[in-house]
């Protein structure tokens, strides 16, 4: 997310090289990253850094899978609380072309619609996505920050026109659960619900989780939990997490990543690493399966 802004390009290239060296495949970005940190109020820095990294390493494109998103870039530069570019056919076509240019590629492996746009008919958005998959500019399509019913409606529309349906969802999710009735993101349906998880599992859709480590709150002593997680359930789950981490000799954050990746419905955690040790710790974590009895302890904590 912060490549090219708070993470300098040279550092980003080191992280990307290390990621591939460790066997990493998926790289997830967005056309709006990181408009709130750059000097222009526009996104695109992350994609440009990735594009230059790919261009400087022949053959690398075939070793990684690229995902990018559109729909959340502010219509007015830097104004996050105003209108966004949205998901009209024109906006999707333009954004996809711009992303491919910045990345320096002729296709992405997964193209996400980043946030809802109810001012645009869903059928128009689905048709625009179908143009991308039909032409091979996007091999797959997914939805981030959308409710399950909208995702299913889009899938039905795609099936009716013989297009590739949405087959992945990306939402905020972690081990600790937000208090009912609260939001942890700016998006009304940005937090993964049991219904969304069930819908994805029943339809064979991938589930991706952003902010899985709650911006370092599990392991950084002076990083306070967001207020949405201040409730008795978090107390019980935090205690279980600390106990399991101690038994396994892992950090709490590493246990969270292992818990996500190894669940009955696997959840792919998205890590915004800015330092090599963070990346190595995360890759070690997802490669470490939790013993069934410890997973059961984590699952049952805070459910009384």
- Does any domain span residue 127? yes
Q: Is residue 26 part of a domain?
A: yes
Four-CA torsion 188, 193, 195, 197, nearest 10 degrees: 120
Residue 72 in domain: yes
pLDDT digits (tens, 9 = 90+) for 231-264: 999 999 999 999 999 999 999 999 999 999 999 9
Taking only the tens place, the pLDDT of each residue in 3-46 is 999 999 999 999 999 999 999 999 999 999 999 998 999 999 99
The two three-digit tokens of residue 231, written as one number: 């409730």
Q: For residue 211, give the CATH number of its domain.
A: 3.20.20.100
Asked whether residue 3 is assigned to any structural domain, the reply reads: no
User: What is the residue range of 35's domain?
Assistant: 9-300
Sheet with 26-28: list strands edge to edge: 26-28, 65-70, 110-113, 141-144, 168-172, 206-210, 267-269
In a domain, 1, yes or no: no
Residue-level pLDDT at 10 = 98
Residues 280 and 215: their CA atoms lie apart, in Å, by 17
191 occurs within a structural domain:
yes
Determine the pLDDT at residue 80.
93
The domain tally of the chain equals 1
Average pLDDT for residues 162-170, to the nearest whole number?
Answer: 98
């Amino acid at each position: 997310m912060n490549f090219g802004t708070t993470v300098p390009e040279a550092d980003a290239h080191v992280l990307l090289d290390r990621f591939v060296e460790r066997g990493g495949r998926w790289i997830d970005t967005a056309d709006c990253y990181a408009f709130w940190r750059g000097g222009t109020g526009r996104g695109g820095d992350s994609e440009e850094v990735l594009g230059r990294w790919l261009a400087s390493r022949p053959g690398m494109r075939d070793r990684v899978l690229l995902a990018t998103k559109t729909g959340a870039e502010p219509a007015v530069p830097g104004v996050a609380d105003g209108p966004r570019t949205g998901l009209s056919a024109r906006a999707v076509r333009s954004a996809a072309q711009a992303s491919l240019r910045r990345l320096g590629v002729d296709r992405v492996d997964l193209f996400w619609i980043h946030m809802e746009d109810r001012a645009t008919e869903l059928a128009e958005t689905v048709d625009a996505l179908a143009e991308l998959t039909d032409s091979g500019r996007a091999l797959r399509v997914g939805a981030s920050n959308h409710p399950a019913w909208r995702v299913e409606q889009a899938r039905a529309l795609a099936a009716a026109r013989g297009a590739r349906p949405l087959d992945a969802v990306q939402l905020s999710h972690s081990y600790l659960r937000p208090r009912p009735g609260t939001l942890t993101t700016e998006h009304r349906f940005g937090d993964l619900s049991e219904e969304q998880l069930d819908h994805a599992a029943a339809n064979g859709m991938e589930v991706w989780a952003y902010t899985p480590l709650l911006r370092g709150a599990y392991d950084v002593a002076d990083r306070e939990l967001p207020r949405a997680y201040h409730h008795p359930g978090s107390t019980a789950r935090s205690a279980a997490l600390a106990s399991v981490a101690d038994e396994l000799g892992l950090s709490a954050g590493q246990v969270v990543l292992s818990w996500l990746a190894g669940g009955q419905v696997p959840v792919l955690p998205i890590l915004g690493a800015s330092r090599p040790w963070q990346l190595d710790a995360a890759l070690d974590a997802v490669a470490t399966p939790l013993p069934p009895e410890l997973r059961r302890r984590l699952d049952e904590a805070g459910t009384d």
